[in-house]
Amino acid sequence: MLDALVSGLRLVATLDLRLWEIVGLSLVVSLSAVALATLLGLPFGAALAVGRFSGRQAVIVVLNALMGLPPVVVGLIIYLLLSRAGPLGPLGLLFTPQAMVIAQTVLVLPIIAALARQSVEDAWREYEEQLRSFGVQGARAALTVLWDIRFSLLTAVLAGLGRASAEVGAVMIVGGNIDGVTRVMTTTIALETSKGDLPLALGLGMVLIAIVLVLNAAAHLIREAALRRHG
Amino acid sequence: MSAILPLRLEEVSFTAGGRRIIDRVSLALEAGTSTIILGANGAGKSVLMRLMHGLLAPSSGRIAWSEDGARRRQAMVFQRPVMLRRSALGNVVYALKAAGVPAAQRTRLALEALDEVGLRPLAARPARVLSGGEQQRLALARAWALHPEVLFLDEPTANLDPGATREIEAVIQAFDVAGTKIVMSTHSLGQARRLGDEVIYLHQGRVLERAPIERFFPQPATAEAAAFVKGELPWG
């Protein structure tokens, strides 16, 4: 056990190429997914916060529920869509990094949209009258509010990134965990542990924990700094 | 001198949740006098001012300014000012930008406005960490920078201590001297006397009485107003 830990540390410290390729792909996949989810989720969340239409409450309830989507179920659904017989089969995306990005985007989108919806709605309740008194409306009012709460929104985005980089179920199913192609940190840890190659699993585990820790520390520090600077 | 005044309200009503909050109010607001809106809690003071300022649309009746483009020639200061997450200066600049003032003039006008309310030394301070009184003065600076013809104030000193209240009142008087029409609701009869020329007394959404200050306080014409002035708030 201790030997495995030491070997794992050595892999990390010696910049083992195989290990860092896996880390690199993980980051590319998760960051792409979060970027896409942010692009779609922030406007959707903001529109949901400000818009008034029938069925809005139902949409909010569903969106909040989707925050807890099980990754394996997302993986399964995307698998079915991308499989050869599925509606998106002709694209040939199954078992590619792109498929993993799609699955993680679906997984993270509700988190970013729901958290953004809550932040924007709270801010809008406070700002609406004042902005209308200034004669500011529509998209300009929305941009003012989004800019004013940019630090809360960043927290929402980092929450999404934490979720994406830590999940295993979705990327395992749609990526297939193919060596050198779709193998990421979490799927490698699962595989190597079952194979008994503990050093690589432990090394990747340490990197993964470090990444999650850094993300959370960053979210915390940004919030603190924002509170101090802007109140 | 003001062109958007008089503001005319004809048979204006406002209903929300089945309750009639403003009930067939007709009146005209002229330039020159400072108008104080008095009334018990729930009499409809805030709603009446929001209707006048255009934040609410009347359920029935008509509200008309004398000239088009009135939107940008009026301002409102709320009981709880909303501070944007920017510096004090940034808040005033934002209001100027929203009003369509060219970028080259904004900073100069904003600094002048901060000077007027005594916040120039705090220009770089984040607005949200200012004290309650300073925030309300900043709200007044945002209005001052626009040189509005009409300024609505919804209980601007309700949450403030006596020192801060005096500072706010001094700025309101400066608006009056500069020719801005003041329309203010307040709970403080002393403040009404200090700042007002005339009183509109509101009771259950209706204008019961409108009179010059010097007549309203010694001789209210209605029993409800008399009870209010005596401090016996008429709930019934």
CA–CA distance, B78 with B167 (Å, rounded to integer)? 16
CA distance B55 to chain A (A): 7
What is the pLDDT, as a whole number, of residue A131?
94
B-chain residue closest to A149, CA distance: B85
B-chain residue closest to A135, CA distance: B98
B-chain residue closest to A130, CA distance: B82
Nearest to B140 by CA among B167, B100, B105, B121: B167
- Nearest beta carbon to residue A231 from set B55, B95, B128: B128
Q: Taking CB atoms and an 8 Å cutoff, what residues of chain A touch B53?
A: 133
Mutate: best of B84, B129, B142, partner A, most A CBs <10 A: B84
Q: What is the pLDDT of residues A23-40, one digit of tens each?
A: 999 999 999 999 999 999
What is the pLDDT, as a whole number, of residue A16?
79
| Res. A3: pLDDT tops 90 | no
Q: Taking CB atoms and an 8 Å cutoff, what residues of chain B touch A127?
A: 82, 84
Mean pLDDT across chain A: 90
Task: Assess contact for A108 and A33: CB atoms under 8 A.
Answer: yes
B71 has a chain A CB within 8 A of its CB: yes
Q: Which residues make beta-bridge pairs with B35? A: B183, B198
Nearest to B78 by CA among B16, B14, B138, B166: B138
Q: Taking CB atoms and an 8 Å cutoff, what residues of chain B touch A230?
A: 85-86, 126, 128
pTM of the predicted model as reported, rounded to 2 decimal places: 0.81
Q: Taking CB atoms and an 8 Å cutoff, what residues of chain B touch A134?
A: 94-95, 98-99
B3 has a chain A CB within 8 A of its CB: no
For the record, the structure tokens of B229 come out as 């002035």
For the record, the structure tokens of B171 come out as 């700025």
Mutate: best of A129, A130, A136, A223, partner B, most B CBs <10 A: A130
Q: Do A135 and B98 touch (CB under 8 A)?
A: yes
CA distance A187 to chain B (A): 43
CA distance B178 to chain A (A): 21
CA–CA distance, B161 with B154 (Å, rounded to integer)? 17
CA distance A222 to chain B (A): 15
CA distance B127 to chain A (A): 7
CA–CA distance, A19 with A231 (Å, rounded to integer)? 43
In chain B, DSSP finds a helix count (H) and a strand count (E) of 8, 9
Chain A residues with at least one Cβ partner in B under 8 Å: 126-127, 129-136, 144, 148-149, 229-231
Phi and psi of B3, rounded to 5°?
-105, -25
B127 has a chain A CB within 8 A of its CB: yes
Q: Do A134 and B98 touch (CB under 8 A)?
A: yes
CA–CA distance, B139 with B117 (Å, rounded to integer)? 10
The C-alpha angle B79, B82, B86, rounded to 5 degrees, equals 150
How, if at all, do strands B7-16 and B19-29 pair? antiparallel
Q: What is the pLDDT of residues B8-42, one digit of tens each?
A: 999 999 999 889 999 999 999 999 899 999 998 88
Nearest to B145 by CA among B165, B126, B169, B123: B123
3-state helix, strand, coil in chain B (%, to 5): 40, 25, 35
Mind giving me the DSSP string for A156-196? HHHHHHHHHHH--HHHHHHHTT-TTTT--HHHHHHHHHHHT
Task: Assess contact for A60 and A117: CB atoms under 8 A.
Answer: yes
Average pLDDT in the A129-133 region? 93
B-chain residue closest to A140, CA distance: B98
> Between helices B132-145 and B103-116, what is the axis angle to 10°?
130
Task: Report how far Cα A138 is from the mean position of its chain's Cα atoms.
Answer: 29
CA distance B2 to chain A (A): 20
Task: Supply the DSSP symbol for B220.
Answer: -
> Between helices A198-230 and A150-166, what is the axis angle to 10°?
170
What is the pLDDT, as a whole number, of residue A143?
86
CA distance B76 to chain A (A): 7
| Res. A15: pLDDT tops 80 | no
The ipTM, to two decimals, is 0.89
Q: Which residues lie below 8 Å from residue B95, measured CB to CB, with a gap of 6+?
A: A134, B142, B143, B145, B146
Nearest to B84 by CA among A149, A175, A18: A149
What is the pLDDT, as a whole number, of residue B98?
93
| Res. A54: pLDDT tops 50 | yes
Mutate: best of A134, A140, A143, partner B, most B CBs <10 A: A134
Counting as low any pLDDT under 70, the low residues of chain B are 1-2, 232-236
| Res. A1: pLDDT tops 80 | no
| Chain A with chain B: Cβ pairs closer than 8 A | 42
3-state helix, strand, coil in chain A (%, to 5): 80, 0, 20
Q: H-type helices in A51-136, by residue range?
A: 56-66, 71-82, 97-134
pLDDT over 70 percentage in chain A: 99
What is the pLDDT, as a whole number, of residue B236?
40
Task: Assess contact for A198 and A11: CB atoms under 8 A.
Answer: no
What is the pLDDT, as a whole number, of residue B232?
54
Phi and psi of B148, rounded to 5°?
-70, 155
- Nearest beta carbon to residue B85 from set A134, A135, A230: A230
